[in-house]
Amino acid sequence: MNVTRPWGYYKVLSEEKGLYRVKLVVVSPRHRLSLQKHKNRSEHWVVVSGRAKITKEKHVYYLKRNESSYIPKNCVHRLENPTSKPLKIIEVQCGKVLRETDIVRLSDDYRRVRRPLRA
């Protein structure tokens, strides 16, 4: 089942609770995911189609088909599609807790950043 997001969609291909989850992630042309980090999981991205712009901490680089990037737990990162064609990646998540809610958004084009409440 495809899960729609403002930047495109993803589909879970395989998973084993508390160990791993494998997803197909499709990023629409000229869209990007949040600048984010995860407390409980690491991710490994493999580009299968298109060209990816990766932000990993303060470094920015590009990946093409068959190239990959490892995103450790708590690493600030972003995935972006700078092209006019869909970007497809395989994302392998590893960790004991693999929830979609394990996300700390630092910046987001779609206004999904939660601000702390004032005391």
Q: pLDDT tens digits for 25-79?
A: 999 999 999 999 999 999 999 999 999 999 999 999 999 999 999 999 999 999 9
119 located within any domain: no
Please say whether the beta carbons of 52 and 44 come within 8 A.
Answer: no
pLDDT at 117 over 80: no
The mean pLDDT value of the chain amounts to 95
The CATH number given to whatever domain includes residue 85 is: 2.60.120.10
* Total domains in the fold of the chain: 1
Residue 112: per-residue pLDDT:
86
* Predicted model pTM: 0.91
Please say whether the beta carbons of 30 and 84 come within 8 A.
Answer: yes
Q: Which residues contact 58 (CB under 8 A, 6 or more apart)?
A: none
Residue 100, domain extent: 2-107
Angstrom distance (rounded) from CA 49 to CA 3? 19
113 located within any domain: no
117 located within any domain: no
Angstrom distance (rounded) from CA 56 to CA 76? 6
116 located within any domain: no
112 located within any domain: no
